Structure 1
Amino acid sequence: MIRLTDLSFGYRNQPLLFNGLNLSLETGHIYGLLGKNGSGKTTLLKNMVGLHYPKAGRATIDGVDTAKRRPDLLSRIFFLPEEPYIPDHTAKAFLETTSPFYPTFDRELFNGYLAAFDVPERRVLTKLSLGQQKKFMIAFALACRTKLLVMDEPTNGLDIPSKAQFRKVLASAVDEDCCIVLSTHQVRDLDNLIDSVIVLHDGTVKLQVQLDQLTEQIRFGNVSGTAVASALYGEAAFDGTHAILPNPERISSKPDLELLFNAVVSDSGILLNYLAKEEIR
């Protein structure tokens, strides 16, 4: 569905952020895009949806170049930035002016999402709290039912109950015809939703893998004593060492995405070498 092919991009008078980057995404998945501050996550997302223009290579959706910004393609994409623009309108006025751009917009779903998020319909959007504004835009994004939904730091600005509700609502919105990409620093907010992970580091995709395939080859757990030596990566903690280990016995474990990210961007390369040998990268 989404292809980034030999994509190179950099801002004016600055070194290239990406040089020949390749990435493929498919429908039916929720991708978690992880990376350090300044690694280019938001820039990558904007290239993906046609808001930036690569210096070389291209980004396509179903073979159509997103940089051409064809209306028929844009109607199948929704990009929600970390700090979305909030117009000085009521919800009704916003829907009247914006929803016609999305032929698959579902008003009934939208009303349900607003109710789930406890966001009032009749108030002017700029009079809502920042958290309510964010929830309104999340509700609208989901109700558009686009083939590609990209959210940059969607849980920033949400309180704990709202984050739980976001996870519930997003899980209900996923279907096999939709591709969702979530960029986040708040890994633990979304780790129960993400089924595929992408790690962006030093301008390249260091890891892209479906988590069910990953946990067939490695397992996550706490170890101590001599078992630490067998770890592919570990971090000392008060309850032992949080570790990533080979998994020849195919023991089921819950992925620790924060630990996985730290292992991928570490200098050792042990985990990536192991995964390359197992041919699941």
Structure 2
Amino acid sequence: MIDLRQLSKTIDGKEVLQDVSLTIEKGEIFGLLGRNGSGKTTLLRLIQQIIIPDQGEILFNNVEIKKHPKVKQNMIYMPVQNPFYDKYTYKQLVDILRRIYPNFDVTYANELMNRYEIPETKKYRDLSTGLKKQMSLVLSFAARPALILLDEPTDGIDAVTRHDVLQLMIDEVAERDTSILITSHRLEDIERMCNRIGFLEDNRLTNVMDLDELKEEYIKIQIAYESDVNLAIREQNIPLLDQAGVFYTVLILKKDEKKKQFLKDLKPKVWHELPVNLEEVFIAKFGGKRRW
């Protein structure tokens, strides 16, 4: 589907991305994680050719996009904010996008607008943040692209709207084998939607992995001791997720029998092993002081 090959980009003298390679398959939802300023938005803009990489290639179905820009009709980019849309109503935007995307499905767009009760006569700039996100997604999906690039699509919207937005994405992938590359600081959204994830840090894409396999690597243990063992646990570099008095919640690799035995040697009064979620894994893998 889409192949990124050794992409590098420097902006205003600062290296933002270095040697980034990634392949996204048909019907895959890939979650791109990273701290603010890590290059997530830059990578999406490179794929859409809004900016051009200093080095590397971007191919869609083995066709280099830079040399054959018409293949961009198979991709659409939804940024955090879209000032281009501001002065237009829904119908005006449909007229514009139909000329750019020949497969634009007006009937489908109208159906989604009615389903989510999004006003069609208001200008985009006059809609609430949640309605803007929903309309942008409606227009993106109605363009019938093979790949959708989503930059923080659930940022700034309420829980009910988030649920609708996420379900719309999941349904689109299930019904049409659309591929989605999504950035988000909401790890619960990534966990719900994505097949694979990757983490942008130090200008590079690292730890590209299957989400289910990643979670299977770790185990969460809730334990209680008669005395305070916080320092002893930390000295062993065991990620401590939570502490309430002498009750602790820690995360370790399932295969790390040494750390597991260390915790047992402290003679716990309570020992419960539990499944983990994505946020807990990232605390263990990248350190609690990271922000994504």
Q: TM-score range by the shorter chain?
A: 0.7 to 0.9
- Rounded to whole Å, the distance in 2 between the matches of 1:43 and 1:81 is 11
Match of 2:283 in 1: 262
**What CA distance in whole angstroms lies between the structure 2 residues aligned with 1:104 and 1:260?**
41
Q: 1:127 to 1:255 in 2, by over 3 A?
A: same
- State the Cα deviation string for residues 119-161 of structure 1 (Å, max 9, x = none): 1123232322232122111111122221110100000121111
Question: After alignment, is 123-132 or 258-267 more displaced?
Answer: 258-267
Q: 2:243 & 2:60 partners in 1: Cα distance? A: 43
The alignment's TM-score, normalised by the length of structure 2, stands at: 0.79
CA distance, structure 2, for counterparts of residue 163 and residue 57 of structure 1: 35
Q: Structure 1: how far apart are the matches of 2:111 and 2:8?
A: 41
Q: Which has the larger radius of gyration?
A: 2
Deviates more, 1:148-157 or 1:48-57: 48-57
What is the aligned partner in structure 2 of residue 41 from structure 1? Answer: 40
Distance 1:206 1:83 in 2: 27
Q: Give the residue type in structure 2 aligned to 1:260.
A: V
Contact 2:151/2:184 (<8 A) preserved: yes
Equivalent residue number for residue 161 of structure 2: 162
- Give per-residue Cα distances to partners, 1:224-273, cap 9 Å, x unaligned: 259x799974422557325253169xxx9865222233333339xxxxxx
CA distance change for structure 1 residues 131 and 91 in 2, over 3 Å: closer, same or farther? same
Q: Is the 8 A contact 2:29 2:182 kept in 1?
A: yes
Q: Which residue of 2 aligns with 1:243?
A: 251
Deviation at 1:43, TM superposition (A): 0.8
TM-score, normalising length: structure 1: 0.82
2:230 aligns to what?
none
Work out the percentage of aligned pairs sharing the same amino acid.
Answer: 26
Distance, in Å, in 2 between the alignment partners of 1:254 and 1:118 is 39
The Cα offsets for residues 183-204 of structure 1, whole Å up to 9 and x where unpaired, read as 0112223421112111111111
What amino acid is aligned across from residue 246 of structure 1 in structure 2?
K
CA distance in 2, matches of 1:163, 1:220: 29
Q: 2:80 aligns with which of 68, 82, 85?
A: 82
Aligned residues: 261
In structure 2, what is the Cα distance between the partners aligned to 1:66 and 1:225? 57
Q: Structure 2: where are the runs of 5+ without partners?
A: 226-232, 257-272
CA distance in 2 between counterparts of 1:63 and 1:89 reads: 36
**CA RMSD, 1 decimal:** 2.8
- Cα distance change, pair 42–118 in 1 and its aligned pair in 2 (3 A): same
For 1:272, the equivalent position in structure 2 comes to none
